[in-house]
Amino acid sequence: MSFQSEKALVRAHYDALAKATPETVADVLAERTSADWHWRGMHPFYEQHGAAAVAESFWAPFLTAMTKVQRRQDIFIAYYNEIDDFQSVWVISMGHLMGLFDAPFLGIKPNRRIAMLRYAEFNKVVDGKIVETALFCDLVHLMNQAGQYPLPPQTGMHLVQPGPATHDGVLFDDADPAEGQKTLATINAMIGDINTHQKYATPQEELAQCWHDDMIWWGPDGIGATYTIDRYVEQHQRPFRTQIKDRVYNGHICRLAEGSFGGFFGWANLSVTNAGGYLGMPEGAPSEMRVVDMYRRDGDKLAENWIFIDILHFLHLQGLDVLGRMKAL
């Protein structure tokens, strides 16, 4: 069992992107993607098909705004996708795209300083081509760095978030499959606890089943990062569970693990309704959340969790066009 060819393809794809310009990026993207490449991006990019459309919607504007972009990976893993009974191979990369913020991007004003765009990307590889991609990036986090934070104060903390405490998340070599199986089993047990949390006396008891007490939840801007089970309950879980109602789990498109690391994404993971107050919004119409979770397992429990939520899409469905408001300023 080896994922070296898939990993090599994605690494070559990233190496080529590192040399791309706004004028060449469409051709660069086309080199290693299929003609019908299905690309998913966060608001306002959404779903695109083919290299030219992806370049026009995301990469050309991003490379125009950011000078000397570097990809700084914190996690790089590959394995078979549990969601399709371990038939397809996906490669996951997570980290930051760093550059100098020199020109406007989506109405966000440049500050000519370093900017770190948090990202998580899932690439499905078939017959030597990338045929499907999901690119989640934290645009609210980028706004915050540029001094243009558009939301009410966060319950957690804004940080340029580091990678794993163990500094071993970039698996260019393949890991022992048994370790990935342990990680995936722990993630699935944790998901099960979320869906049956009523059987536990307290949130702390629920979380202690699969999480270390000194867990770190690297949440998206708008919510922020938090540390330890107690503070996670206070700063994320309780606001979410009390200010969100009618929550329906829709499932995932990809879920996998390699070594001590794993993750998933959905489109959308959850259907929800804002019960009033969540992210500063009043009670609203049914909405949805598109989410990435990436994890690090330590022993028999989870230790770190990096979260990406398409918050701008969630707010847009409730009538708040954050990017449109920023462009109008």
Selection from 328, 312, 327 nearest residue 108 by Cα:
327
The answer to whether 272 and 287 are in contact (CB under 8 A) is yes
Selection from 163, 165, 158, 128 nearest residue 235 by Cα:
158
Q: If residue 178 lies in a helix (H) or strand (E), which one and from where to where?
A: helix 177-195
Class of residue 275 by CB neighbours under 10 A (exposed 0-12, middle 13-18, buried 19+) = middle
> What's the one-letter identity of residue 207?
L
The answer to whether 295 and 302 are in contact (CB under 8 A) is yes
Q: What's the pLDDT at 91?
A: 99
Q: Which portions of the chain are predicted below pLDDT 70? A: none
The two beta strands, 129-137 and 114-126, are antiparallel
The DSSP annotation for 5-39 comes to HHHHHHHHHHHHHHT--TTTHHHHHHHSEEEEEEE
Q: Which two tokens stand for residue 93?
A: 């990369």
Helix (H, G, I), strand (E, B) or coil at 59: helix
Q: What's the pLDDT at 6?
A: 98
Q: What's the pLDDT at 325?
A: 87
Q: Which two tokens stand for residue 138?
A: 């934290």
Q: Is the dihedral of CA 37, 1, 163, 202 positive or negative?
A: positive
3-state helix, strand, coil in the chain (%, to 5): 30, 35, 30
Q: What's the pLDDT at 302?
A: 98
Place of tokens 């954050």: 322
12-45: per-residue pLDDT in tens?
999 999 999 999 999 999 999 999 999 999 999 9
